[in-house]
Amino acid sequence: TNSSSGKMGFALARACVHAGAEVVLVSGPVAIPAPRGVRQIPVHSALEMRSAVFGEIGAADIFIGVAAVADYRPANAAEHKIKKSGNEMLISLTPNPDILAEVAALEKGPFCVGFAAESRNLDEYAESKRQAKKLPLLVGNLVQHGLGGDDNQVILYDDDGKHPLPRASKAALAERIVTHLATLLNRDGIPE
């Protein structure tokens, strides 16, 4: 788990609707109502999220992977509550699917936007992630600047370099991100 609130994803969904997009929001458990005009698919695990995304991705022109999906999950889920025994317990972990990487690797996939929340070395890690996943746009931030809060400070990374955005509300940042995304789409077009 992490302290991600889902606020950025919901703000982006709202901004995309304002820009005229038809939006499907695949969301983990949050305490935020879906924005008006957004079709929400609630999920409870990374595997459910992957399944929901791939159930919808064929009709998508754009995929924004903003969810803070855990990198790992328990390798074996217990059927019932594990009672405290006083003994030390070790839990084996297995990697969760990298949904963004899988979508970005699709042969006729949508235009992909990724997010990177890092604790340090943001420029290095964000650009490395963007290049490795072949993303046309990645939004990066330091976790100490925005996770769970109502505002954030982000940097947009694309083929033209990095574009820092000043600290603002997540709603205002979402509008700026969608405007930048629209500029890239108008220039480069939507993938066929």
DSSP secondary structure letters along 81-134: PPPP-SS-----EEEPP-HHHHHHT-TTPPEEEEEEEESS-HHHHHHHHHHHTT
- Residue 76 in any domain: the answer is no
Distance, CA of 181 to chain centre: 15
Q: Which residue has the higher pLDDT, 7 or 176?
A: 176
Q: How many residues does the chain have?
A: 192
- Residue 112 in any domain: the answer is yes
At 154, which CATH number?
A: 3.40.50.10300
- Residue 77 in any domain: the answer is no
pLDDT in tens, 131-153: 999 999 999 998 876 566 788 99
Q: Which range of residues forms the domain containing residue 103?
A: 7-70+90-188
Catalytic residue among 2, 76, 87, 152: 2
- Residue 80 in any domain: the answer is no
- Residue 146 in any domain: the answer is yes
According to the model, what pLDDT value does residue 39 have?
A: 97
From CA 101, how far away is CA 97, in angstroms rounded?
A: 9
- Residue 57 in any domain: the answer is yes
Residues 6+ apart with CB under 8 A from 174: 8, 11, 12, 14, 15
- Residue 176 in any domain: the answer is yes
Instruction: Give the chain's domain count.
Output: 1
Q: Is position 2 annotated as part of the catalytic site?
A: yes
- Residue 40 in any domain: the answer is yes
pLDDT in tens, 60-107: 999 999 988 888 999 998 889 888 887 888 899 999 999 999 999 999
